[in-house]
Amino acid sequence: MPRPLIAGNWKLNMLRSGATELATALRKGLEGESKADVVVCPPFIAIPAVVEALRGSAIGVGGQDLYWQDSGAFTGEVSAPMLADAGCRWVIVGHSERRQYFGETDETVAKKLRAAQKAGLTPIVCVGERLEEREKGVTKDVVGRQVDGALGGLSKDELKKLAVAYEPVWAIGTGKVATPEQAQEVHAFIRWRLAGLSDEATAREVRLLYGGSVTPENVRGLMEKPDVNGALVGGASLKAESFLKIVRG
């Protein structure tokens, strides 16, 4: 069983002062041994303040997105070497909000995750079906396509250096969490698909996170499932109290 990973996606929230305050509270709350690896993903502009507040602690910092070119005439973008240089070790790639509002495709996700790995960042690659896709019964087709599109062609070594987050779009920010059984079913499918791209031993090492309305109340049931190795938390990661409860399980 891989070590659990709990990541907080702060999305478009937090000014520098709030980000520093939250990071400092998490740092205090997580002093000593933690059962899970913990990562926070602030907005780009708050990253330096959060890195500073967490310096010397075990909590990692990640970006919420990146561009696949290292540098050049790409106004408004942030590259993997820039994130690494700012102190990030992680980056979210292919979040459904990027796919939905900013034209992210499996192809761009594939480029971004390779750029992230090249710079030594660990990508958290997001996949997940929309409500109408689940209702049509094509969840596995959609997720399978996203997994193959993003991860196809990676070596076993590269596959071991990333995490996949299953985030059903209908569960994000809706308060409508997937049941542990629904999450387990798709996670087992993703792991099977990863085994197809590599082998079973490699697939077993990849951390599969669940995301979508995770709260202190529902995290335990989800984490009890064998193929759920962590959580990607949105709303509940914005308050130290609830995020700490989630980390403690």
| 187 belongs to the catalytic site | no
Q: What is the DSSP letter of 79?
A: B
Closest approach, Cβ 67 to ligand 13P, in A, equals: 19
- When the beta carbons of 38 and 202 are compared against ligand 13P, the nearer one is 38
Question: Is residue 65 helix, strand or coil?
Answer: coil
CB contact set of 23 (below 8 Å; sequence gap of 6+): 40, 42, 49, 50, 53, 54, 59
102 near 77, Cβ under 8 Å?
no
Closest approach, Cβ 200 to ligand 13P, in A, equals: 28
Integer angstrom CA distances of residue 114 from 9, 55, 121: 21, 27, 10
Tokens at 209, concatenated: 């996170």
- When the beta carbons of 236 and 247 are compared against ligand 13P, the nearer one is 236
Catalytic residue (one of 97, 104, 133, 167): 167
Closest approach, Cβ 173 to ligand 13P, in A, equals: 4
Closest approach, Cβ 228 to ligand 13P, in A, equals: 15
Question: Is residue 120 helix, strand or coil?
Answer: coil
Q: How far apart (Å, rounded) are the C-alpha atoms in residues 62 and 85?
A: 12
Site for ligand 13P, rule CB under 6 A: 9, 95, 167, 172-173, 211-214, 232-236
| 167 belongs to the catalytic site | yes
Catalytic residue (one of 95, 97, 129, 133): 95
Smallest Cα–Cα separation from 231: which of 241, 44, 245? 245
Closest approach, Cβ 73 to ligand 13P, in A, equals: 30
Quote the longest CA-to-CA distance of the chain. Answer: 48
- When the beta carbons of 92 and 198 are compared against ligand 13P, the nearer one is 92
Q: Which DSSP helix (H) or strand (E) runs through 231?
A: strand 230-233
Q: Which residue is nearest to ligand 13P (CB)?
A: 234
Spacing of C-alpha 83 from chain mean position: 16
Annotated catalytic residues are 95, 167
